[in-house]
Every structure is written in structure tokens, then in C-alpha cells.
Amino acid sequence: MSKKDIVLAFSGGLDTSFCIPYLQEQGYAVHTVFADTGGVDADEYAYIEKRAKELGAASHVTVDGGPAIWSGFVKPFIWSGEGYQGQYPLLVSDRYLIVDFTLARANELGTKCIAHGCTGMGNDQVRFDLAIKASGDYQIVAPIREIQKEHAEVRAYEQKYLESRGFEVRAKQKSYTINENLLGITMSGGEIDRWEAPGEGARGWCEPRSAWPEEPLQVTLTFKNGEAVALDGKPLDGAKLLAKLNVMFAQYGVGRGLYTGDTTVGLKGRIIFEAPGLTVLLTAHRALEEAVLTKLQNRFKPEVARKWVELVYEGFYHDPLKTDLEAFLASSQAMVNGDVTLETRGGRVDAVAVKSPHILNAKGAVYAQSADWGVEEAEGFIRLYGMSSTLWAEINR
């Protein structure tokens, strides 16, 4: 009897490793897809491929997710200029690209069965499931959610399950849950979950204060229609540019934050995040926008941005509203062209110079320095501008 094909989004960790033999025992031929969205060195890359093979995957493919994560997430995110709840830079957004690659493999194989290793406790299950449902009529199988119905200690059960079938489980004990990709690193668990001060081990890319270089770091980013296209005058594709910024600014501890977020499932989620490259891009892009957009654009755009960020965070990556909002964001970037020079001495980054042909400079006036209007014009403007408030004060005093 031939087995039914199913495609599993595979990372090589405990959860997705458990999924392969579990699904096989449910009558599936398991095809694994590893979407490389960064955060994986050569040794881990080789381990993931070897792991899929030794667990008995019917086939395994690895896909370069860098270009997709830049065009599908980084560009509109930088255009939006907002983190979730004003802080978190949506570092889990590679999940949507992982779904896309998984579905593409399923279509190649002619199957409608998709599996993932998300638990029933967090946000990722929402992102995976909604992204899959929005893309077609697929059957979703989530083994970790299924075993949670019967086993309270899920990870212990997964480990025992694999070992009983002759598969080794890496003794990679961690005090923290760590997610890493091209966008950055998130850390939770241990004292972080207890709302205590993070320990010394709760650190990823960003160097501590004691290790910051003495000399300041200065770079120049070139933007075209709101997209960073060059670093220090050298053209770079987006994924490579972001990776380089991560390395350069992590040395100075830039992009590290600690926040508590309102999660999709209703719980409070406290995490440490490190996103040096995205922090630099956001800082540079905002400085350029402040100079070239009108006052009304700069006031209204954050409202659109906050909604876009909420949709992406909560799983609605494929909702039509997201596409509608991106149309506005893209339109707002027509004149966001120029060079921004950034500097850090450690811990934070500042946009110290902006150069663009679209800066909204008045020819005959400089704020607080000089004006090409007279006293009477100023007084008349102030009188009319404040008329309503002045009348209220006169009548009700």
C-alpha cells in the first residue's frame, strides 16, 4: 500500500525531528523542506540535511530564503517604520516565507498535505495555519498539537519517542528558547519569563558594553524609492546588505531590546530581541522620510504602519488589507531617495547626515533662523490658527 505524501517544514530541532517518524507511523511519506532564512552556520546546515535523511525523510530540499525575506518582509517593514507595540521588529516573520516554500514543494509533489512542528502554546501555529489556509485548500497536520492532548510534558515525550525508535537526541540543553534568522535573534525562558533581570547568558549577537570598540563606526546607506540599495557607495542586494549590517553593528551592541508583548493567543510574552541591521535601516529610513515627506504624510503614515505591523504579527500576512496598506506605503516612497550617514559609539545609532534632492527646504526661510514673511503675516496666521481655542477661552473665562 503506497503512503500518502506530506510536506513538513523542517528545522532539524526536536519538534520537527519528532514529526518525521510520527507522521510515518500515521501512514505518510514525509518530504522535508528547510527554508534557510539565516542564522544557520555550515555545520548546522549539514546537520539538518543529515538529520532529515537519518530520520527517513522520503526527500529533502533546502531553499535559500534570503531574497524572499527581503522583498516579502524587510522592504515593507522598513517602509512602515514601526515595531509591534512600538518596539518589537517582527523577527518571526520568516515563518510566512517558510510556509511559501513548503507549499511550493507540496505543489511539485502533487499533494495537499502540509505539516509543521508548532506547539499549541504560541503564536507560530496561528501564523502557519492562517498562511496555509489563505493559500489554498490544504490539509494541515500539526503533530505537536495532537500529542499535547495526551501528554503534559511534551518535549520529554518527544525525546523518549525518538530514542525508543533508535534515533539520538542532541544533548543541547539550553536555559533559553532561542530563535535566530537573518532578521535577528529572540530569546525567552528562564529568568526572562519570570520578569527578572536577564542573566549574562541571555545574549546573542550583540556585544556587551565592555567589548565595544573604542573607535566610533560610521556608514552611509543609499536609498532608492525607500529601499536600501548600497552601503558606503557599494551596491548590495538586500539580504547581503542586512547580513553585513548585522555583523558591523552587533559589535557595538546596537539593536538589543527587552520588552513584554501582547501575544495573539492572549498571553503576555516577555523576550529579549537583537536586531542590529533592522535597527540601522529603520533609523536611516526614518531620518530620510522626515526630510522629504510632507507634514501630513509624516503624521498619517504611522497609523497605516501600525495596522500593517499588527496584521503581520497576528498571522494575517495574506489578508487583502495588508496588500491594500502596502499599496499606500509603496506610494509614499516615491521621493524617499538619497544618502543617510549613520554613526554609533555603542548601544544606539544616530542618523548624523542626510543628503537628498527631495529635502523640503524653503528657499527663503530656515526654521528659527530666518524668514521670508513679515510680522503682520505671522500675527495674522497665529490669530486664525488659534481662533477656536482663543474664543473658548474668552467666552468661558
pLDDT tens string 335-349: 999 999 999 999 999
C-alpha pair distances (Å), 281 with each of 3, 274, 331, 349, 377:
48, 14, 19, 10, 41
Confidence of residue 73 (pLDDT cuts 50, 70, 90): very high
Whether the pLDDT of residue 251 is over 90: the answer is yes
What is the average pLDDT across 245-268?
94
Identify the bridge partners of residue 231 per DSSP, sorted by sequence position. Answer: 221, 234
The CATH 3.90.1260.10 domain(s) of the chain lie at 177-293+332-355
pLDDT given for residue 40 in this prediction: 81
| Ordered DSSP codes for 288-343 | HHHHHS-HHHHHHHHHHHHHHHHHHHTT-TT-HHHHHHHHHHHHTTTT--EEEEEE
pLDDT given for residue 171 in this prediction: 63
DSSP 370: B
pLDDT given for residue 172 in this prediction: 52
In 3D space, the residue among 369, 365, 221, 216 whose CA is nearest the CA of residue 288 turns out to be 221
Q: Which three cell numbers, joined as nine digits, stand for 181?
A: 534568522
pLDDT in tens, 135-187: 999 999 999 999 998 888 888 899 999 999 999 887 654 667 888 899 999 99
CA 37 to chain centre: 11
Report whether 286 contacts 349 (CB < 8 A): no
| Ordered DSSP codes for 223-238 | EETTEEEEETTEE--H
The sign one gets for the Cα dihedral 85, 87, 93, 95 is negative
CATH number for the domain formed by residue range(s) 4-164: 3.40.50.620
Q: Which three cell numbers, joined as nine digits, stand for 150?
A: 495526551
The CATH 3.40.50.620 domain(s) of the chain lie at 4-164
Distance from C-alpha of 395 to C-alpha of 397, rounded to nearest angstrom: 6
pLDDT given for residue 1 in this prediction: 43
Percent of the residues in the chain that have a pLDDT greater than 90, as a whole number: 83
pLDDT given for residue 372 in this prediction: 83
Whether the pLDDT of residue 118 is over 80: the answer is yes
Confidence of residue 104 (pLDDT cuts 50, 70, 90): very high
Q: Across all residues in the chain, what is the average pLDDT? A: 93
Distance from C-alpha of 307 to C-alpha of 314, rounded to nearest angstrom: 11
Predicted model pTM: 0.92
pLDDT given for residue 153 in this prediction: 86
Whether the pLDDT of residue 94 is over 70: the answer is yes
Whether the pLDDT of residue 374 is over 90: the answer is no
What is the average pLDDT across 304-309?
97
The sign one gets for the Cα dihedral 142, 146, 148, 149 is positive
Q: Which three cell numbers, joined as nine digits, stand for 298?
A: 509624516
Select the more confidently predicted residue: 63 or 122.
63
The sign one gets for the Cα dihedral 50, 68, 122, 134 is negative
Distance from C-alpha of 257 to C-alpha of 272, rounded to nearest angstrom: 6
Distance from C-alpha of 288 to C-alpha of 280, rounded to nearest angstrom: 13
Angle ∠(53,55,58) on CA atoms, nearest 5: 60
Percent of the residues in the chain that have a pLDDT greater than 70, as a whole number: 98
Per CATH, the homologous superfamily of domain 177-293+332-355 is: Argininosuccinate synthetase, chain A, domain 2 (3.90.1260.10)
